[in-house]
Structure 1
Amino acid sequence: MRAHRFPQSSMIARIGYDEETGILSISFHDTGKYLYYDVPVALFEEFCRAPSAGTFFNARIKDDFRCRRDPERRRFGPNA
């Protein structure tokens, strides 16, 4: 698993990429972790170099890949 953090981003905390499965995991500050399927490794590498993680996500990832909320994500609170 390869990973990258975005300390300056107000939207995305970190991303991880599994080269065997092509799954990109994105941890959002406000909504938690989501998994994106069939993402090419080159796109992950571009994401790591992007000057703005949120802008890159909106332009190149969002709505272009099948995704779902991470099933391993723990939920907390009264409505979890």
Structure 2
Amino acid sequence: MIFLVTRYLKDEDFPDSSTDVTAVGAEAFGELLGMPADQLADVYPLKREHAERFQQLTGIALDLEKYDYFLEPEAD
């Protein structure tokens, strides 16, 4: 499984950037989103309640005033 975090400018339909965060692992992302890691199969919006832990896991700070962020699992 590959995990990408994709960033969109607010009110835009096309991504501004996409970053591979696979190294963090499914277990950590499952914990972050409150679900079993083996059920991660959709696109998940990252909200304010995820921001601090997401930054701890990935080193990526979420600018939620300017962008919308989504965690996107993909089959490898």
User: Could you state the TM-score of these two structures normalised by the residue count of structure 2?
Assistant: 0.37
Query: Which is higher, the Rg of structure 1 or of structure 2?
Result: 1
Higher helix share: 2
Q: Which has the higher contact order (CA 8 A, sep 6+)?
A: 2
TM-score (norm 1): 0.36
